[in-house]
Structure 1
């Protein structure tokens, strides 16, 4: 792929303690307005020849590719679960979607056509065991990408996800991407709570959760009720907690345990 820079065995000092990241890849994409940085963690003692499972972890609104590492220590998770862990940058407020208004904000196209293909080629994971999850904006993005690309992922996840864009109005940059007067039909077409209907009548499964004190708790409960009505095999975890790092550090372990059971 053109215009990709790879920094191998980089020590990152953005935390109070140092995390050893094996690869930092910078993508210059025709679909994005600026470069996208992605961290990749290989489990200790494993190689690309092992064809390991792989999980993409998407950060939240206003975060960066460093967010999940700061929350969960991605190298430790890679070591413990035996997954290749990939942390892309969502460019602050991309919502991981293809904007119908902004030519250089086509994030899902970038993800699937460039980043995904490049990661598969470089790290040779087991392509039957590829997962995607995320928090908040990244929770919506992870499930959206999963639902739009079921042939590429075994399962998806969301923690504290904003799974219904119809309720956000002009918050969090949605209006910039979809328009200030976006129609209900357009908002439906991008919302997880509508796109989840693609799983009806299938045996595909995913996991999502939300804290009971979270601002997105109501919409996640509504997603659970819809899954029940459609008999979709979703695992939903409702537990005490808010929209914060302490909650996500707990919930991501639950999601990793879930993904591990599917291998």
Structure 2
């Protein structure tokens, strides 16, 4: 695998953005490889997966490119008061990456995965653009942001969340994964995992129950674990294997 550190110009964000890329270095002429957009969590950035997991070593066993962009604390959202990170990650970034690297633009070859805040972002992207992404995975995802907002009322993060999502309720909007999951057509394949000691465990169980109730297919796994890199390093290996299952 080749590891490439990129600085790209985003016209959507009107700034330069950092993106890390892992890609096979023996790609044949006219070959287009599968691509996984791998998203970081809250407080993180584009370096997290390389610093805290063994993603490069695990990727050796899978012939795909892995794109790791910086989105900071945006919740992968077009912020009410801020930058349009959802448009950047879901639309502009794939166009730029496809112009720079020999990666496929076919739905069946495009995947998105993330941890915590990135789990929310991964599902939001795939459920908004199910014609572009065939599979999405969430590791300890913040899947019910409406509940998180209510839990942070009168706390230090309240104003931060309002700068992202605004003052109106999220339910039945483009930022609501429950609403998007019902609406998406075709349905992307979804993978959900969470540690049983994770503070987002109940959040994940609620989303799992919703998918079951509405007969939306998904794969779910859990095990003992907290909201940390020990869990995510173990489960990203499961995600990579799951991507190649028919």
Q: TM-score scaled to structure 2, two decimals? A: 0.88
Gaps of 5+ in 2: none
Change (3 A) 1:80 1:185: closer
The CA deviation at 1:45 is: 3.0
Contact 1:94 1:107 in 2 (8 A): yes
Deviation digits for residues 128-156 of structure 1, max 9, x if unmatched? 31100000011101110111111111111
SS of residue paired to 1:261: coil
2:87 to 105, 109, 122: 109
Partner of 2:220: 236
Higher normalized contact order (CA 8 Å, seq sep 6+, divided by chain length)? 2
| Poorly superposed stretches of 4+, deviation over 6 Å | none
Deviation digits for residues 17-57 of structure 1, max 9, x if unmatched? xxx85322212323326432001111243357332111010
Q: Matched residues in 2 for 1:108 and 1:117: separation?
A: 14
SS of residue paired to 1:195: helix
Question: Is structure 2 residue 56 aligned with structure 1 residue 78?
Answer: no
Question: Is structure 2 residue 215 aligned with structure 1 residue 250?
Answer: no
Q: Matched residues in 2 for 1:197 and 1:161: separation?
A: 18
CA RMSD of aligned residues (A): 2.1
Q: Matched residues in 1 for 2:50 and 2:176: separation?
A: 27
Change (3 A) 1:56 1:204: closer
SS of residue paired to 1:233: coil
Contact 2:127 2:188 in 1 (8 A): no
Q: Where do 1:127-146 residues align within 5 Å?
A: 127=106, 128-146=108-126
SS of residue paired to 1:96: coil
Residue correspondences, number: 237
Gaps of 5+ in 1: 1-19
The CA deviation at 1:93 is: 0.4
